[in-house]
Amino acid sequence: MSPKRTFQRAVVTGGAGFLGSHLSDALLASGCEVVCVDNLCTGSRENIGHLLGHPRFTFVRSDVSAALHVDGPVDLVLHLASPASPVAYTRLAIETLRVGSQGTSNALELAGEKGARFILTSTSEVYGDPLQHPQSESYWGNVNPVGERSMYDEAKRFAEALTIAHATRRGVDAGIVRIFNTYGPRLQSGDGRVIPNFIRQALADDPMTVHGDGTQTRSLCYVDDTVEGILRLAASPHLGPVNIGNPEELTVAELAHRIRGLIGSASPLRHLGLPADDPKVRCPDISLADTLLGWKPSVTLDDGLLRTIAWFSNNQEVPDFEPAVTSSPRGPKEKSGQS
């Protein structure tokens, strides 16, 4: 177990995005000051609208790939800046590669200059379409460097290599977290990720689009658990990489049926072609996170889905939602827009 460590002032790049905004919430709740840096190419002011008047929150609209300068002391740099959904990183391919390379370099330079702890939020996509299952941190991956997803996969792989180089050659206090599929309030409904797609379609009783035969698997972690895992790594001395995700695996078709049942929707399933390089399996080995950080997810899939469905119903142009099962999901702390 790692010793407890607290932070006074954190820089969160990509802090107006889905995950970045939740991390900002958690840091502020801990008493930390937060400087959120985001160029809003995929983030949204609505995600941080509830924070803009907070005395310990500062929003800086800036592209971290161009430069990253922050006045005053900083003891934590959380580097999340990057398009993260297939729709976004396909549309912004060059920008994705640039923020993974030059953006990561700038964030590492800032951490080195300030003597701050640096955390890179990497991704399970570094494993590609894995031949090892479940995926442990020692697995090197099966990535197509010129494939349809290469701009994201290779940007993150390079960012990891750059982080290791700064840690081992320049003494930067760094850590790498590999995040598996995360979901929750503030996900963008049209970004191509499976949970917002299914929820939006089921709430409207539209066909639920399943790519391929639906037997490909995903492991889904609610955003509160992911945030807790990231902050535990930040508070530890460990370099990593460390997987943060939910080891409970299910097929995409099972997920569609689960969401449809929770909503009580009449949506039929509609099968479409499988995207190129789409991973057939995805499941983390989290034994390292458990051993080093004492972390494992605590929010059940049904509870997390109900919270997410309720948020989409309240914040999107979809019908009102009444749970189809008896539950007491914790509602969102505020109303905000898309990530």
What residue spans of 238-328 are helical by DSSP H? 252-263, 287-293, 301-315
User: What's the CA gap between 321 and 302, in Å, rounded?
Assistant: 15
Closest to 23 measured CA to CA, from 48, 58, 55: 48
Say if residues 305 and 258 touch (Cβ distance below 8 Å): yes
Neighbours of 63 (CB within 10 A): 20
User: What's the CA gap between 15 and 21, in Å, rounded?
Assistant: 5
Q: Give helix then strand counts, H and E, for the chain.
A: 11, 13
Backbone φ, ψ for residue 68 (5° rounding):
-145, 100
How deeply is 192 buried, as exposed, middle or buried, from its count of CB atoms within 10 A (0-12, 13-18, 19+)? Answer: middle
The answer to whether 152 is a known catalytic residue is yes
User: What's the CA gap between 268 and 265, in Å, rounded?
Assistant: 9
Would you state the structure tokens that stand for residue 75, as one six-digit string? Answer: 């003891």
Strands 76-79 and 182-183, by their bridges, are unpaired
User: What's the CA gap between 154 and 207, in Å, rounded?
Assistant: 34
Would you state the structure tokens that stand for residue 326, as one six-digit string? Answer: 């008896």
Can you say whether residue 128 is alpha, beta or left, with left for phi > 0 and alpha for psi between -120 and 50 degrees? left
User: What's the CA gap between 261 and 208, in Å, rounded?
Assistant: 12
Q: Which of 89, 127, 152, 183 is catalytic?
A: 152
User: What's the CA gap between 320 and 279, in Å, rounded?
Assistant: 34
Backbone φ, ψ for residue 71 (5° rounding):
-75, 150
> Annotated active-site positions, please?
152
